[in-house]
Amino acid sequence: MTDPSVLVQSLTPSAVHAAYSLIQPYVHRTPLLTCQTLNTIASAPQSPEALTGTPYEGQAPANPKFRFFFKCENYQRIGAFKARGAFHALLRLIAERGKEEVQKRGVITHSSGNHAQALALAAATLGVPAYIIMPSISTPSKIAGTKSHGAEVVFSGSTSVEREAVVADVQAKTGAIFIHPYDDANIICGQGTTAIELEEQYRELLAEKPHLSIRQGSEALDAVFTPIGGGGLNSGVATFFSDKSTKVFGAEPSFEGADDCRRGLEAGERVPAVSTLTIADGLRTPVGLLNWEVISNRDKIAGVFAVTEEQIKATMRLVLERMKVVVEPSSVVGLAVCLYNEEFRRLVEKEAPEGWDVGIVFSGGNTTVEAIGKLFS
């Protein structure tokens, strides 16, 4: 890879707009939803018991105010935002190398499921062979979804090191061109197109229903949350908002060190490896080198917060039961931060006593009835 500190200069709002122009024929403009019930729940103090065992035990709980705007990428093609980056990366690759070469060699990637399905779909749509390396513990529905688009699936271990070893082996045999699942400028710009729609839809919605905002006449979201795994979505969204007033935050699971980005920011250096079996299976990878260049820039990312497995499950239950929206665990970590992370809740209360309008990106909905039942059994 080109030096990330140099490559990051190509990540601009105009590059995200250019990506959107290219991929529009291939992706959905997903809906923006609101939920008064979740606004109310988040805008009430947590119980004192919820703070037991935290640095805030014995203190009065924070009482921030929220209005949420949910960007539902679970309704995107293949059920996740990853379709945006996959189509953009493959379309750019074909433009650079020519369709004949790309069709002859094919493309290869590694993914636990959502990027796997996305690249498989993009490759099938554009007539390109695809080889997808997937951890053997991937969700069965994601494996089936990837195979359904005609991709050749090869299984690997669950860590990034194990995945990359199998990628190298298959590449040596096939000559397939590698498209990184998240650490790639074209992937990042593609994922960033989520933010274009989010901002447009927020303004359109408030023009029709201004009472939905915390402030009358609001023109911009106060903040946006995305999950962070490899960091492609978060850095893409942050790139789009980099010349605007909207603050961008990231959210991670804390289980078994899955909050590598949060820990890396605290330590002042990127954490290069992660080994975790968090229920948020789309967030089990370390932040990529290029994405780290964006996320570690405080002018672009306002902060990263982590939540527990129980908080993720409680949030997922609320979304399923109160919004009637099917999401996977990885999708809800941003909302979980707003509901349960006392550090973040105190930040909002301090910075804006009147509250914030917050965009929450539901990154995907690739789960099954069986998986949901097992999660809550």
Say which residue, 215 or 92, is predicted with more confidence: 92
Better pLDDT: 66 or 3: 66
CB 116 within 8 A of CB 142: yes
Contacts of 211 (CB under 8 A, 6+ apart): none
Average pLDDT over residues 94-122: 94
pLDDT tens for each residue of 355-373: 999 999 999 999 989 999 9
Q: How confident is the model at residue 4 (pLDDT cuts 50, 70, 90)?
A: confident
Q: pLDDT band for 19, please (50, 70, 90 cuts).
A: very high
Catalytic residue among 112, 138, 213, 242: 112
Q: Given this model, what pLDDT does residue 8 score? A: 86
Let me know if 82 is a catalytic residue.
yes
In 3D space, the residue among 129, 175, 177 whose CA is nearest the CA of residue 153 turns out to be 129
Q: What is the pLDDT of residue 285?
A: 87
What residues contact residue 195 under an 8 Å CB cut-off, 6+ apart?
16, 224, 236, 237, 240, 241
Q: Class assignment of domain 81-178?
A: alpha beta
Q: Which of 366, 55, 89 is nearest to 232 (CA)?
A: 89
pLDDT per residue as tens digits for the range 295-338: 999 999 999 999 999 999 999 999 999 999 999 999 999 999 99
Residues above pLDDT 70, as percent of the chain: 99
Average pLDDT score over residue span 330-358: 97
Which CATH number does 4-30+32-71+184-376 carry? 3.40.50.1100
pLDDT reading at 226 higher than 90: yes
367 is written with which tokens? Answer: 């789960």
**pLDDT tens track for 138-185:** 888 889 999 999 999 999 987 778 888 999 999 999 999 999 999 999
**Considering 5, 14, 65, 82, which one is annotated as catalytic?**
82
Contact by Cβ (8 Å): 237, 248: yes
Residues 6+ apart with CB under 8 A from 241: 195, 199, 224, 248, 300
Check residue 1 and give its pLDDT: 61
Mean of pLDDT over the chain: 95
Give the model confidence (pLDDT) of 250-277 as tens digits.
Answer: 999 999 999 999 999 999 999 999 989 9
Catalytic residue list contains 112 = yes
4-30+32-71+184-376 and 81-178 in the same fold? yes
Domain ranges for the chain, please list them: 4-30+32-71+184-376, 81-178
pLDDT at residue number 29 = 98
